[in-house]
Chain A
């Protein structure tokens, strides 16, 4: 009995390790290439770790390229999008979760419809709309487009979190003397923090790595976001993999930080003990 269980445990752990290795390998490769000197990149064949490592690529990216600017742009766009979308989605999700109103069915239907089109189809019309408004080549334009595309899904996401919170709670608060909005703010929102964190994280990463619209709507360096910037390492004649990967590693940092800050809300089981249990 004992050895058999031990065998299972080992198998179980090994499977988890294999999964993690599989999922993280591209990241490892990113890191590896970013510290490999150019002369070794092709010279050494496929090796898990270069015989010599260097931070030259990082220095170059930070000091001699436009990357700091792209970074700043990406941060502005992603953070704004994440916060605007989450605020809108919270309010809309609450309404969908709690109220019955005329046209609800159609609103939900329309929101679902927006999720069904391949985005490529929409590039031309969106460009046509934004261009006379002077919103192409601008971060504001990008934020508007991202918000529009992320709100429906984020709304459904938030709605499911609100659905998980018993209605009794805000009813109790309203009987205790709160207005509906106060009950929402003081009772329901604090309990939805995990949902809000998840939505923020989801939208932030979506905006952070979005390439298609950024590429189509932005042409100048001034308003480029970092995924567009990455492409500048691809020239007609070669691809500067080392610098590209270094930039990639740097781009991971804000996303990691962002998740680091929201992770404690993601895992909290805040509603425990609200109702009978």
Chain B
């Protein structure tokens, strides 16, 4: 096990700049999840840690040792690929033991190691099969087994579950979490999937366009997104965002939205009177009441029942307001309701740069 230090890492392919100076410290035994939209450089960063891509500038240390110029084989890390990358001409047992055989590990040690990993992952009966005779989920397990047999310094995962169906993904997610609790291995995990990120991570690193946007615990990112990008990226259905003007003169602090609607906001907001801001509120925090309750008048356009709850799309002050409610049958299409934004649930962002201001 080891910590990983990433300092001012940049990557360019010719004149295309992919990573613009990434700094990140991953503690020994920590599970860090990298999230971000497609093409933002997650895989590139992971591959640089693995040694599969050259480092254009900056420094990577694994367990305190600078690895910039080390070959992948000397970095002692394991990686699980999105494609699994199992060796097709080898059996499951041979796939898992390959790294140990390369290190000239004693035969009996190899058998104990693969038997142990096989048992952990429920692969016992498949040991003599070739990858082509396995299902997608089984292949995924073999790929995991190949990574854990040799107790590396760190595990790297590049969207390991994205080729599985939803049910299997949920199950493997649980197994990965258990595995991490068992092994306590330093892990970096790339995913598109919010739920995976939220459930697995000790810390989430949100990236966009080669720049780290925010690093923090899953709930940190969810409850206090550092900027508009993180606010919009985390959470499903996505956060409501409305452009408005901040006012604190002539009354309590408030944000004026379109059509003369003003929403009261908290104290201590780092903006001047008249500043352009973006107001954000998560759908599950929007309070919807039927009839003439307190709040802003709105019309229900669309009702999406998810089984777990209901997503309501309402139009108010010329915008689409999404609300999520656990209550069923709260409203139907065409209803007039009132929506309210509780003060302590409101996020405010600087309109121009998108930074959080309150």
Please list the residues of chain A having a beta carbon within 8 angstroms of any beta carbon in chain B. 166, 168-169, 171-179, 182, 187, 190-191, 270-277
B interface residues, tally (CB under 8 Å): 32
Q: A171-B52, A272-B132 are in contact. Are A177 and B102 (CB under 8 A)?
A: yes
- Is B83 an interface residue when CB atoms closer than 8 A count as contact? yes
Top 9 nearest A-B pairs (CB, nearest first) are A273-B132, A168-B85, A275-B83, A273-B131, A176-B99, A172-B85, A177-B102, A274-B88, A272-B132
Distance A272 CA – B131 CA, assembled complex (angstroms):
8
Residues in B with CB closer than 8 Å to A168 are 81, 83, 85
- Is B272 an interface residue when CB atoms closer than 8 A count as contact? no
B73 with A270: CB separation less than 8 A: no
Q: List 16 A-B contacts (CB under 8 A).
A: A168-B81, A171-B81, A173-B98, A175-B51, A175-B73, A175-B77, A175-B79, A176-B78, A176-B146, A177-B102, A179-B73, A182-B102, A190-B89, A271-B88, A274-B87, A276-B136
B98 with A274: CB separation less than 8 A: no
A175 with B78: CB separation less than 8 A: yes
List residues of B (74-93) whose CB comes within 8 Å of A's CBs.
75, 77-79, 81-89
Residues in B with CB closer than 8 Å to A172 are 79, 81, 85-87, 146
Distance A172 CA – B131 CA, assembled complex (angstroms):
15
B85 with A174: CB separation less than 8 A: no
- Is B71 an interface residue when CB atoms closer than 8 A count as contact? yes
B84 with A276: CB separation less than 8 A: yes
Among B50, B75, B132, max chain A CB count under 10 A is at: B132
Distance A169 CA – B143 CA, assembled complex (angstroms):
12
B130 with A273: CB separation less than 8 A: yes
Contact of B73 among A177, A271, A273, A274 (CB under 8 A): A177
State how many angstroms separate the Cβ of B245 from the closest Cβ of chain A.
Answer: 50
A176 with B134: CB separation less than 8 A: no
Contact of B83 among A166, A175, A177 (CB under 8 A): A166
A173 with B87: CB separation less than 8 A: yes
Residues in B with CB closer than 8 Å to A187 are 87
Among B50, B79, B85, B86, max chain A CB count under 10 A is at: B85
Contact of B50 among A173, A175, A274 (CB under 8 A): A175
Among A178, A182, A275, max chain B CB count under 10 A is at: A275
Residues in B with CB closer than 8 Å to A273 are 86, 88, 130-134, 139
Distance A176 CA – B103 CA, assembled complex (angstroms):
9
Chain B residue, CB-CB nearest to A187: B87
